[in-house]
Amino acid sequence: MARRPTIKDIARRAGVSESAVSFALNGRPGVSEQTRARIRRVTEELGWQPNSAARALSGERSGAVGLVLARPAHTLGVESFFLQLVSGIQEVLSAERIALLFQVVEDIEAECAVHRRWWAERRVDGVLVVDPRTNDPRPELLAGLGLPAVLIGGYGGEGDGEGGDGGGGEGPSVSRVWADDTRAMTEVLDHLHGLGHRRIVHIAGLPGLAHTARRVAALRAEAERLGLPAGQVRSVPTDYSDTEGAAATRRVLAEPEPPTALVYDNDVMAVAGSAVAAELGIPVPGGLSIVAWDDSALCRVTHPRLTALVRDTAGFGRLAAEELLAVLAGGPPRARESELPRLEPRESTSPPPAAY
Amino acid sequence: MARRPTIKDIARRAGVSESAVSFALNGRPGVSEQTRARIRRVTEELGWQPNSAARALSGERSGAVGLVLARPAHTLGVESFFLQLVSGIQEVLSAERIALLFQVVEDIEAECAVHRRWWAERRVDGVLVVDPRTNDPRPELLAGLGLPAVLIGGYGGEGDGEGGDGGGGEGPSVSRVWADDTRAMTEVLDHLHGLGHRRIVHIAGLPGLAHTARRVAALRAEAERLGLPAGQVRSVPTDYSDTEGAAATRRVLAEPEPPTALVYDNDVMAVAGSAVAAELGIPVPGGLSIVAWDDSALCRVTHPRLTALVRDTAGFGRLAAEELLAVLAGGPPRARESELPRLEPRESTSPPPAAY
DNA sequence: CAACGGGACTGAAGCGCTTAAGCAACACGC
DNA sequence: GCGTGTTGCTTAAGCGCTTCAGTCCCGTTG
């Protein structure tokens, strides 16, 4: 086990003081180019890397950011969304040598506790917050702690919210990156309506999540605009799991006037739903059209392949990480919109059955 | 933004020295029970938490462990395995207030670089290593750095390997937790053989991974024992992706004498394969039996539901985390076996078609 | 009754780094 | 010749914690 060199070792070898080394390596003025070059050479030779703890202790920066995933264990795992997001986030972070602390917890209370702890322990310089909710306690908590944060998937133009901080009323009080679910949902509905569908059910995700609320609202608004009564076009809530997705599908398909098209809030439920249709002997898309929100391998492995709303999840993660870096650098809170999800038509959508 | 209290604040409020506080809070002797109680009370009041950087700097422990996932981006995401594993790991770690640093990278060289960096920066006290390979460079690297590690999914009783360290030749040179893939594969094959299948193809995962090699070897050995020629029972490699899983399925089903049963090395490929069968009009299980290695929601959402090898992945994670804690506490390297994967028969397996 | 032992606590150093302040050497202008 | 900068470095303090070597006081003991 090799001993790790410190700046003291570098200083000795280069014949200068420790602070000269620190200045040189951090690109600050006060060292001649010549000396700087020599110090850098010695550093290379010794393979020195800054001790993160020492840096954190003096520099007040831990060089790490945190991300908590609050999901009940049974809904974990089958979502492609998450790892893609993380991999995008890390592309940006690791270029800046920032580490990612990751924690999985059961619920949002536990998540808040983790944030408090990280803050108190000075473990992280900032956090990324996923799955924003309606009445989300987290922005307020984080603002209170002064822990820089970026909300991933928040916003819908709903204003600066929690008040106080900003003063002016201009811009959001906490940074966010978001996708325009409202417009995406509108487009999906228009697409299905254009194909001739009039009875459409949206198998929604967890009701408490902000984007679920926005999709539900968008569906209702667009249905109204198209003159479709609420009984024919509506949303039903689930917990995102395959189980509830399948159950909801079974339920609505058993109605006297079943829908001719289903829009699922994630890929897992869409696949589960298409299996239910197969089981019931309902042909897809002949007897039922299916759209999945979020694309993944899943949508491509079913038969027929599922029409899906594709988005660049890794890109979304990159955007979020960039935004967090901007906040850490002292930038003002912003809301940045990612590109609009794109509807990728595959074999699971077609005009409704003629009988209708 | 509240200022975070330090032991100095506690010391002042409790009327003792900082070192008394440190002793009291760390449960060391040298403080009376009375004083200790008082210090604890003040600590509670102030809501103090140790500054992790300061602790790391003096105590030589960072209070964090690392986990790197080296996967090309396109195979990321649809695996339930991973998040389940992490959630199990964290159940154990967070009870000990140990943070998890998580990093996703493209390949194993990048992973090694991350380990080196974490070590040099003293970011982590130890690491968890997933996806062990044949000729894996990581155990040697980590042993060289003196970075405590636990291999997840390694071993098969292949001995202590890399030599040197242990001296005695007793026990492995690095800790591992493992599942007995060999026996599991044997059981799967026996099950299929018992049903009457004689032509069986194993759609394997990445050839470089140690457990793939073990499963392949186990398949061959058991086929031999059962007197089945290598042409009839064999493995074909893939990269675990749905695409290659589907392609391999298509390929073997197009052969003049196609297999009557397929064993997939993960759930995603199994689902993709069952979609290919549907597309080709081959009934499952009537015309083709399918077994998935690793269960997840996926296996339950297809129609028919897939017979799968179930294992307690979160439990596996817990075991790994516990083992890492043991290593950090100075324990000797051990190989701990997790419970044997259990074959959960569902509707995708049956006797082969009578025609055969 | 002085010497001793030990429990309870304090002081100070040190982990590896950053950074404010200090200082020597030199150039410049008047 | 002397102030006034500048440049290029050093010294020292400090981040919050741990830990080791003392110190002090009190009860024992020969």
Q: Give the range of the structural domain holding residue A42, as residue numbers without chain letter.
A: 7-46
> What would the pLDDT profile of B225-239 be if each residue is shown by its tens digit?
999 999 899 999 999
Q: Which of A134-143, A149-158, A189-198, B260-269 has the lowest mean pLDDT?
A: A149-158
Collapsing DSSP to helix, strand or coil, B308 comes out as strand
CA B186 to chain centre: 21
> Is B39 found in the same domain as B114?
no
> Is A331 found in the same domain as A300?
no
Give the mean pLDDT of A261-290: 94
DSSP B138-154: HHHHHHHHT--EEEES-
> Is B87 found in the same domain as B72?
yes
Instruction: Please state, in angstroms and rounded to a whole number, the distance separating the CA atoms of residues A265 and A89.
Output: 23
Instruction: Please state, in angstroms and rounded to a whole number, the distance separating the CA atoms of residues A77 and B181.
Output: 22
The yes-or-no verdict on residue B291 having pLDDT over 90 is yes
Q: Which nucleotides of C are covered by protein (CB under 7 A)?
A: 7-12, 14-21
Is any atom of nucleic acid chain D found less than 7 Å from the CB of residue B7?
yes
> What would the pLDDT profile of A192-212 be if each residue is shown by its tens digit?
999 999 999 999 999 999 999
Nearest to A177 by CA among A132, A136, A222: A132
Nearest to B181 by CA among B311, B268, B67: B311
Asked if B276's CB is within 8 angstroms of A242's CB, the reply is no
Does residue A128 form part of some domain? yes
The yes-or-no verdict on residue B3 having pLDDT over 80 is no
Give the mean pLDDT of A82-98: 91
> Is B291 found in the same domain as B201?
yes
> How long a stretch of residues is chain B?
356
CA distances from A11 to A16, A48, A133 (A): 5, 12, 52
Return the structure tokens found at A351.
Answer: 């005009």
Mean pLDDT of chain A: 90
CA distance A84 to chain B (A): 6
Does residue A59 form part of some domain? no
B78, B98, B112, B279, best to mutate vs chain A, most A CBs in 10 Å: B78
> Is B332 found in the same domain as B270?
no
> Is B165 found in the same domain as B100?
yes
CA B190 to chain centre: 26
Instruction: Please state, in angstroms and rounded to a whole number, the distance separating the CA atoms of residues A76 and A217.
Output: 26
Predicted local confidence at residue B283, as pLDDT = 95
| Pairing relationship of beta strands A342-344 and A335-337 according to DSSP bridges | unpaired
> Is A194 found in the same domain as A102?
no
> How long a stretch of residues is chain A?
356
Contact B187, B181 (CB under 8 A): no
Predicted local confidence at residue A4, as pLDDT = 86
Chain B contact present for A2, CB below 8 A: yes
Contact B240, B264 (CB under 8 A): no
Instruction: Please state, in angstroms and rounded to a whole number, the distance separating the CA atoms of residues B270 and B302.
Output: 10
> Is B199 found in the same domain as B307?
yes
pTM surpassing 0.75? yes
Does residue A356 form part of some domain? no
Nucleotide C6 C1' to residue B19 CA (A): 19
Kind plus residue range of the DSSP H or E element containing A318: helix A313-328
> Is B269 found in the same domain as B160?
no
Which residues, 6 or more positions from B119, have their beta carbon under 8 angstroms from its beta carbon?
Answer: A4, B145, B147
> Is B102 found in the same domain as B36?
no
Predicted local confidence at residue B159, as pLDDT = 46
> Is B245 found in the same domain as B201?
yes
Does residue A342 form part of some domain? no
Residues B42-55: b if buried by 16+ CB within 10 A, e if exposed? bbeebebbbbbbbb
Q: Scanning every residue of chain A, which has its alpha carbon at the shortest distance from the alpha carbon of B145? A: A1
Q: Which residues between 140 and 169 in chain B have a beta carbon less than 8 angstroms from any beta carbon of chain A?
A: 144-146
Contact A52, B121 (CB under 8 A): yes
Chain A contact present for B283, CB below 8 A: no
For residue A333, name the pLDDT band (cuts at 50, 70, 90). very high
| Total of domains in chain B | 3
Asked if A81's CB is within 8 angstroms of B83's CB, the reply is no
> Is A298 found in the same domain as A204?
yes
Which residues, 6 or more positions from B256, have their beta carbon under 8 angstroms from its beta carbon?
Answer: none
Nucleotide C23 C1' to residue A16 CA (A): 16
Looking at per-residue pLDDT, the higher value among A74 and A220 belongs to: A220
Say which CATH number the domain at A235 has.
Answer: 3.40.50.2300
Does residue B108 form part of some domain? yes
The yes-or-no verdict on residue B165 having pLDDT over 90 is no
Please give the radius of gyration of chain A, using alpha carbons only, rounded to the nearest integer: 25
Q: Scanning every residue of chain A, which has its alpha carbon at the shortest distance from the alpha carbon of B61? A: A53
Does residue A232 form part of some domain? yes
Collapsing DSSP to helix, strand or coil, A11 comes out as helix
Does residue A55 form part of some domain? no
Q: What is the DSSP letter of A74?
A: G
- Find the CB nearest A275 among B118, B119, B301: B301
Kindly state the greatest CA–CA separation across chain A.
89
The yes-or-no verdict on residue B311 having pLDDT over 50 is yes
